[in-house]
Amino acid sequence: MSEPVLKMRRIGKTHGKGAQRVDALVDVNLDVAAGEFVAITGRSGSGKTTLLNIAGALDEPTTGNVSVVGHDLGDLSNKELARTRRVAVGYVFQQFNLLPALTAAENISLPLELDGMTTAEARELAEVALSEVGLDGMGDRYPDQLSGGEQQRVAIARGLVGPRSLLLADEPTGALDEATGESVLKLLRERCEAGASALMVTHEPAFAAWADRVVRLRDGQIEEISVRSFATSNADLF
Amino acid sequence: MGIKEGLLALLADGPRHGYQLKVDLETATADAIPVNVGQVYSTLQRLERDGLVSKGGVDDEGRDVYEITAPGGDVLRDWLNSPVDLAAAGRDEISMKVLIAIFTGGLDPKAVIEGQRTATMGLLQDLTRFRAEEEDADVAWHLHLDRLIYSAEAELKWLDRVEERVR
Ligand SMILES: Nc1ncnc2c1ncn2[C@@H]1O[C@H](COP(=O)(O)OP(=O)(O)OP(=O)(O)O)[C@@H](O)[C@H]1O
Ligand SMILES: [Mg+2]
């Protein structure tokens, strides 16, 4: 088996100091293989966002090692880190994090332009990404002209646009109804079938069930729940 | 549902012979309720004895064709109009196992919960994939899968709740 796209070893993370100290992650080991889709469940405050932020190089672990597409994040310079974060990793934020002064399409295309793509190319990819999340023709709206679920889908489009190896999605269906949420899950699956890897946080069992592997965080520790590779045949179910 | 009500509903839709009833019952319920011909005939005999259906002649191939009677129509309407008692349906094996494990000292409820969670999540993953693959399957089959998916989901949520309460 080839090197995992995401490899987390003995990750510990402590937020705050003294009386405010929180051990958000305790000795977490997690691998995500190429093409694999992993779902993380767990109660509010169990450390899911902390884990995703560390996987996406948005935060540093207190202890332990993370490697993404074969690079140990601890060994990278700030510049290399920023590049890995933008190019290899697609991140869908729990709070969307859309820039209010940019249109939906610009929110998606700007990061691509920063990586050297022409405005025209980036804009074209943004339009494709918007249509994948069911927002055809909404590219020129500003975030405050979109519903909550539409804003979330712009955030998803931004996270999934371009050739990403590792997709990190924090509760990407939180503002979506069941049918729209399902279409987002289909999109993530398609990306994994095309070779990307995904790590998604969700508290909905029905959405977690789209993953090949479901794990759970409890008080900062990880538990395996269930492994069912989507790729294997399942003819004997009925 | 017993197959009794299913047969009455099909006969209210039009007269049928025994084998046709078996086939239609399975089609309508997406094979959710497997029945054998023997069951269909013995149920028809009981329904006829109770005056809920009657023989309405034979078809071209000499098979008895059944019809629903007026009292049969009443029984069917009562059944359709009374909601299923979910409180009774919820007393299933999983609740039994988990609740007994909590109540009795010697068993480890956490292990029971974890084992069940793994099994049910696996089932939910299988069902989800199955439904995604069978995009073009017929409506009855999809609705049946949806039903199983929602049950599995509810069970997982319930297991989380139980775990919070016993931790
Ligand atoms: N920057 C921070 N400073 C201090 N404590 C923090 C910080 N970020 C997170 N925490 C704490 O760490 C723990 C884990 O937080 P985290 O955001 O990872 O939870 P989560 O599983 O994503 O929860 P939710 O489902 O509510 O989003 C919580 O107790 C939280 O209060
Ligand atoms: Mg979170």
One domain for residues B59 and B118: no
Q: How confident is the model at residue A238 (pLDDT cuts 50, 70, 90)?
A: low
Domain boundary among B82, B110, B140: B82
One domain for residues B25 and B42: yes
Domain boundary among B31, B51, B82: B82
B143 vs A68: CA distance, rounded Å: 41
- Return the CATH architecture of domain A1-88+164-233: 3-Layer(aba) Sandwich (3.40)
pLDDT tens readout for residues A163-197: 899 999 999 999 999 999 999 999 999 999 999 99
ipTM of the complex: 0.88
pLDDT of residue B84: 76
Mean pLDDT of A4-8: 96
A50 vs A58: CA distance, rounded Å: 9
pLDDT of residue B89: 64
Cα angle A24-A30-A34, degrees, rounded to a multiple of 5 = 140
One domain for residues B95 and B37: no
| Crossing angle (nearest 10°) for helices B109-133 and B93-103 | 160
Q: In sequence order, which ranges of chain B are alpha helices (DSSP H)?
A: 3-13, 18-28, 37-49, 70-81, 86-89, 93-103, 109-133, 139-166
- In this structure, are strands A6-15 and A22-32 parallel, antiparallel, or unpaired? antiparallel
One domain for residues B136 and B72: no
Mean pLDDT of A131-145: 96
Whether residue B23 contacts residue B136, with contact meaning beta carbons closer than 8 Å, is answered with: no
Q: Does B149 touch chain A (CB under 8 A)?
A: yes
One domain for residues B18 and B65: yes
- Of chain A, the percentage scoring pLDDT greater than 90 comes to 79
CB atoms within 10 A of CB B162: 21
Give the residue, out of A11, A28, A40, A46, with the most ligand 1 atoms within 8 A of its beta carbon, to mutate for a pocket test.
Answer: A46
Q: How confident is the model at residue A236 (pLDDT cuts 50, 70, 90)?
A: low
One domain for residues B94 and B64: no
One domain for residues B72 and B96: no
Looking at the partner chain, which of A225, A227, A234 has a beta carbon nearest the beta carbon of B129? A234
pLDDT of residue A187: 93
pLDDT of residue A233: 46
Chain B residue whose CA is closest to A224: B118
Range of the domain at B14: 3-82
CATH code, B17: 1.10.10.10
Q: Which helix (H) or strand (E) holds A134?
A: none
The reported pTM is 0.86
Mean pLDDT of A61-78: 92
Quote the ligand 1 centre to A68 CA distance (angstroms).
23
Mean pLDDT of A129-141: 95
Over chain B, what is the mean pLDDT? Answer: 88
Domain boundary among B82, B100, B129: B82
What domain count does chain B have? 2
Mutate to test the interface with A, among B116, B121, B141, B156 (most CBs of A within 10 A): B121
Mean pLDDT of B78-100: 78
One domain for residues B46 and B116: no
* Ranges A1-15, A116-130, B13-27, B102-116: which has the least confidence: B102-116
Residue A25 has pLDDT above 90, yes or no: yes
B66 is written with which tokens?
């059944």
One domain for residues B32 and B49: yes
